[in-house]
A and B are shown apart, each in its own frame.
Chain A
Amino acid sequence: DAKTTQPTSMDCAEGRAANLPCNHSTISGNEYVYWYRQIHSQGPQYIIHGLKNNETNEMASLIITEDRKSSTLILPHATLRDTAVYYCIVASTGGGADGLTFGKGTHLIIQP
């Protein structure tokens, strides 16, 4: 799996949009970008994933640059419950199960 680079920590004011960057300059053509988050002492939770088009669901939006070397996860209206560690992962799909490789992620702190 390709490596990703994320800031160690970020702060965001409650009610504002939280924009979490991720660099994945060595991503391969068949690799997707996945985002998970882990609230303290719980299991990671899937947020969103994409290949090359921007994606949106009820939790977040994912913006992937045209060259696919970086992406941004956007939480449109952050709440205190969004405080968590956010993981950006690139992984290929299909052909059997592979284990996702988690890095250190970004610790997002939502300030009241």
Chain B
Amino acid sequence: ETGVTQTPRHLVMGMTNKKSLKCEQHLGHNAMYWYKQSAKKPLELMFVYNFKEQTENNSVPSRFSPECPNSSHLFLHLHTLQPEDSALYLCASSLSHWGPSNNYGYTFGSGTRLTVV
């Protein structure tokens, strides 16, 4: 366990379903991130939250909707996804001002393997 917990670990959903991915950390971090990793592609940054405020949205389609109710929890709400959205979705957290005082950079969860059918 890394300290960042993602649930569920695996999810299969139809294109008309609505589901949510959950990420939780109790590391005292103030920044949280969603990444997408498709097969044989680099990790793609989707969203950044800093002190519960969204600071970055990398042109992600609106069928992905993030929510950050507090600094410890992050959700990714999914609706009307496409088969090409099948991927490993990774959550990460960090101190908001990371540098020499933060020797561990980002801490990642184990991810949710999403399959859209």
Contacts and interface: CB of A to CB of B under 8 A. Distances in A.
Main secondary structure of the interface of A (DSSP, over half): loop
A46 B3 CA distance: 13
Nearest to B30: A97
Interface stretch (A18-26, A35-43, A65-73): A35-43
Contact of A101 (B45, B88, B103, B107): B45
B37 to A, nearest CB: 9
B48 A94 contact: no
Nearest to A32: B99
Interface residues of B, number: 34
Given A93-B99, A97-B55, A100-B105, A43 B45 contact: no
Nearest to A35: B105
Interface string B65-101: 0000000000000000000000010101010111110
A28 interface: no
User: For chain A, which range describes its interface: under 10, 10 to 19, 20 to 34, or 35 or more residues?
Assistant: 20 to 34
A112 interface: no
Interface of A: 32, 34, 36, 41-46, 49, 51, 93-105
B43 interface: yes
Given A46-B106, A49-B105, A98 B48 contact: yes
B94 A43 contact: no
